[in-house]
């Protein structure tokens, strides 16, 4: 193992530090550089998608059409969803994996550094292409991020072809990223780092990577079918030619449901790192956490039709998908229980990363409960396609996935930059986000239950009050994210020196490295006892 690791560092021209100029970023094969690129890209996309969300909320502040036309409104909801899912959340997790996985398992770099560079640099092109559709004739895709056929085939704007190729490129990028993570974790662990000693962030990413490999090709398949229906006269989703639009939904959600877990499993990993650090206790039930992630991943392949309860499934199908979906609450409950048990009788302190982690546990659980409500097939006929669904998935994605990414950034920034974060500003950011997120999304439960449909630019008068409240919350949340940008930049430029261990209760290989982490770390593998 020692000799092979030496050879893996054969790129000796990089051995003493980063190259200078723009070339460093274009040609880099260093996992830390690529991790930073991913994280910056994701932040840029987060702000782009967030701006679109604010446009949506501004239009919905009052009933009636004020700011934008319905056609443009539909393009905004579509692009907001696509950019946040594929541009903000997924690249942020890949960026964190790039930075942290090698440092956590005692590896010198990712297993396939050149492919790593490639998988990042595809992304800016994919998103440039997708965002450019906003300026095309007929406008950007307007069929929602789920792009149901025939809205996305027969009735799609001409720019749909660019959308399809952008999805192909994102898929290729994700698959390469996933292959890299798996190869790193399986082949580059330091001696003594057995599978059941892996930090949970690494475990959660290993399973996520397998999910990516299983479902991103299915997404590529479904957009390819769309492409063929649109341009080559096939009839996969065209009933007149013997196809079936419902088939689209089945194939899409076969990808789509595991995708949901792709966006939350790494978050589980992050939270499982942060809570033990600030509770100053070992994680409660490590093995059960690993098995819980594994069972959630397997179950995620068996529940896709709970997104389609109203398409006319037979009773047996409704029942199967209802119970299978509810089954997922069991391993998820195990995880929440373990986090709470870790904190129980711990010596807790509430630094910024811990605050985000705690908010994650509470608010993600609320999102999980509304998910359980949606899982009840007979009730879902009432909730389907209403703002209740919007409230549900924003609760699991914003205070779920996004808060975990914020927590991770605050938690590891001292390791990355060598400077402590400004706690005061971090806490202000947290409280504004926490209050903002709840003001935005909690009222959506009520308007949804009262029957307000999603994806509409105008609505009936009785929904006006809750909508204006939600819009105010959205602007509080949106603008307070500028504080996050400020905090990150301040932390990079200076601040109190961080110790190697950074946090008093931190455990793990990454905390044995100096802060900031050197450009090349673990060139000699550490020995894990």
Rounded least distance, CB 216 to another protein, Å: 8
At 303, phi and psi to the nearest 5?
-125, 10
Q: Is 394 a catalytic residue?
A: no
CA–CA separation, 478 and 483 (whole Å): 10
Record the tokens describing residue 353, joined without a space.
């990363």
Q: Which of 217, 245, 451, 505 binds another protein (CB under 8 A)?
A: 217
211 binds another protein (CB under 8 A): no
In the residue annotation, 80 being an active-site residue is answered as yes
Q: Is 322 in the site for another protein (CB under 8 A)?
A: no
Choice among 33, 59, 229, 259 that is catalytic: 259
Phi, psi of 419 (to 5 degrees): -120, 145
Is the CB of residue 367 less than 8 Å from the CB of residue 392? yes
The verdict on 5 binding another protein (CB under 8 A) reads: yes
Is 246 one of the binding residues for another protein (CB under 8 A)?
Answer: yes
Q: Which of these is catalytic: 36, 173, 386, 471?
A: 173
Binding span for another protein by CB under 8 A among 239-247, 288-296, 321-329, 428-436: 239-247
Q: Between the CA of residue 77 and those of 54, 62, 63, 495, what are the distances in Å?
A: 11, 17, 17, 39
Binding residues for another protein restricted to 112-131, rule: CB under 8 A: 112
* Binds another protein by CB under 8 A, chosen from 86, 120, 143, 236: 236
220 binds another protein (CB under 8 A): yes
| Tokens at 97, concatenated | 């994996």
Q: Please compute, for residue 134, the number of CA atoms within 13 A of its CA located in the half-sphere on the CB side.
A: 17
Instruction: Say which residues have a Cβ less than 8 Å from residue 286's Cβ, sequence separation at least 6.
Output: 196, 200
CA 242, 245, 251, 252 torsion: positive or negative?
positive
- Verify binding: residue 183, another protein, rule CB under 8 A: yes
- Listed ranges 138-146, 179-187, 358-366, 425-433: which one lies at the site for another protein (CB under 8 A): 179-187
Among 218, 372, 449, 456, which residue sits at the site for another protein (rule: CB under 8 A)?
218
Span 156-175, contacts to another protein by CB under 8 A:
175
Site membership for another protein, residue 244 (CB under 8 A): yes
* Contact by Cβ (8 Å): 265, 209: no
Whether 145 sits among the annotated catalytic residues: the reply is yes
Based on the shown chain and the rule CB under 8 A, indicate whether residue 225 belongs to the binding site for another protein: yes
* Tokens read off for 391: 């409230």
Percent helix, strand, coil in the chain, to 5, is 70, 0, 25
Cβ proximity to another protein: between 3 and 194 the closer is 3
Q: Does 144 bind another protein (CB under 8 A)?
A: no
Catalytic site includes residue 419: no
> Are the CB atoms for 103 and 510 separated by under 8 Å?
yes
Catalytic one among 25, 118, 145, 148? 145
* Residue 312 touches another protein, criterion: CB under 8 A: yes
* CA 56/CA 75 separation, integer angstroms: 10
Buried-state track 328-347, b at ≥16 Cβ within 10 A, e below 16: beebbebbbebbeebbeebe
82 is an interface residue for another protein by CB under 8 A: no
Q: Does 462 bind another protein (CB under 8 A)?
A: no
Q: Which residues pair with 453 in a beta bridge?
A: 386
249-288 footprint of another protein as x/- string (CB under 8 A): -xx--xx---------------------------------
Question: Distance between CA 257 and CA 304 in Å, rounded?
Answer: 5
How far is the C-alpha of 38 from the C-alpha of 25, rounded, in Å? 11
364 closest CA partner among 399, 389, 393: 399
Residues 80, 189, 415, 445: which is the catalytic one? 80
Q: Is 259 a catalytic residue?
A: yes
306 noted as active-site residue: yes
Asked whether the beta carbons of 224 and 255 are under 8 A apart, the reply is no
Q: How far is the CB of 250 from another protein (least distance, A)?
A: 6
Q: Which of 335, 419, 445, 501 is catalytic?
A: 335
Based on the residue annotation, tell me whether 235 is a catalytic residue of this protein. Answer: no
Catalytic-role residue among 31, 57, 189, 257: 257
Instruction: Tell me the window of 56-64, 177-185, 267-275, 355-363 that interacts with another protein (CB under 8 A).
Output: 177-185
Phi and psi, residue 28, nearest 5°? -65, 145
| Count of residues engaged in binding another protein, rule: CB under 8 A | 43
Query: CA 95 to CA 116: how far, in whole Å?
Result: 11
Residues designated as active site:
80, 109, 145, 173-174, 257, 259, 261, 272, 306-307, 332, 335, 454
Residues that bind another protein (CB under 8 A): 1, 3-5, 7-8, 111-112, 175, 178-179, 182-183, 186-188, 213-222, 225, 233, 236, 239-242, 244, 246-247, 250-251, 254-255, 312, 314, 317
């Amino acid at each position: 193992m020692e000799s092979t690791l030496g050879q893996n560092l054969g790129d000796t021209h990089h051995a003493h530090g980063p190259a200078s100029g723009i070339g460093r970023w274009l040609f880099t094969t260093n996992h830390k550089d690529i991790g930073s690129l991913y994280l910056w890209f994701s932040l840029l996309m987060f702000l782009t998608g967030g701006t679109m969300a604010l446009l949506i909320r501004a239009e919905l502040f009052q009933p009636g059409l004020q700011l934008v036309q319905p056609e443009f409104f539909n393009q905004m909801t579509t692009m907001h969803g696509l950019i946040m899912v594929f541009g903000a959340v997924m690249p942020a997790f890949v960026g964190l994996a790039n930075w942290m996985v090698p440092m956590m398992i005692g590896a010198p770099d990712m297993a396939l550094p050149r492919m790593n560079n490639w998988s990042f640099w595809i992304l800016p092109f994919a998103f440039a292409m997708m965002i450019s559709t906003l300026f095309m004739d007929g406008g950007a895709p307007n069929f929602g991020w789920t792009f149901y056929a025939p809205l996305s085939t027969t009735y799609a704007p001409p720019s749909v072809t660019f959308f399809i190729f952008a999805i192909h490129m994102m898929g290729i990028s994700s698959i390469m990223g996933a292959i890299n993570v798996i190869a790193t974790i399986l082949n580059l662990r330091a001696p003594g780092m057995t599978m059941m000693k892996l930090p949970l962030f690494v475990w959660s990413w290993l399973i996520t990577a397998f999910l990516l490999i299983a479902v991103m090709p299915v997404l590529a398949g479904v957009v390819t079918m769309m492409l063929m229906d649109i341009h080559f006269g096939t009839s996969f989703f065209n009933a007149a030619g013997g196809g079936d639009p419902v088939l689209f939904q089945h194939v899409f959600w076969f990808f789509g449901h595991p995708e949901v877990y792709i966006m939350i499993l790494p978050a589980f990993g992050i939270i499982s790192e942060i809570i033990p650090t600030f509770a100053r206790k070992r994680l409660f039930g490590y093995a059960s956490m690993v098995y819980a992630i594994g069972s959630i991943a397997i179950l995620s392949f068996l529940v896709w039709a709970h997104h389609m309860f109203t398409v006319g499934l037979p009773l047996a199908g409704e029942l199967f998908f209802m119970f299978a979906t509810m089954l997922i609450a069991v391993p998820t409950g195990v995880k929440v229980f373990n986090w709470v048990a870790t904190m129980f009788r711990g010596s807790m302190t509430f630094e910024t990363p811990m605050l985000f982690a705690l908010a994650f546990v509470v608010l993600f659980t609320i999102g999980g409960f509304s998910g359980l409500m949606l899982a009840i097939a007979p009730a879902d006929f009432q909730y389907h396609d209403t703002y209740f669904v919007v409230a549900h998935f924003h609760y699991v994605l914003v205070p779920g996935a996004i808060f975990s990414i914020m927590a991770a950034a605050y938690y590891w920034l001292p390791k990355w930059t060598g400077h402590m974060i400004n706690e005061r500003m971090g806490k202000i950011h947290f409280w504004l986000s926490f209050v903002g997120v709840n003001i935005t999304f909690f009222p959506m439960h009520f308007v949804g239950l009262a029957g307000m449909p999603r994806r509409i630019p105008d609505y009936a008068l009785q929904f006006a009050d809750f909508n204006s409240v939600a819009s105010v919350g959205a602007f509080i949340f949106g603008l307070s994210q500028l504080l996050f940008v400020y905090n990150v930049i301040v932390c990079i430029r200076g601040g109190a020196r961080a110790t190697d261990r950074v946090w008093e209760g931190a455990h793990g290989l990454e905390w044995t490295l100096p802060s900031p982490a050197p450009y090349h770390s673990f060139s000699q593998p550490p020995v894990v006892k």
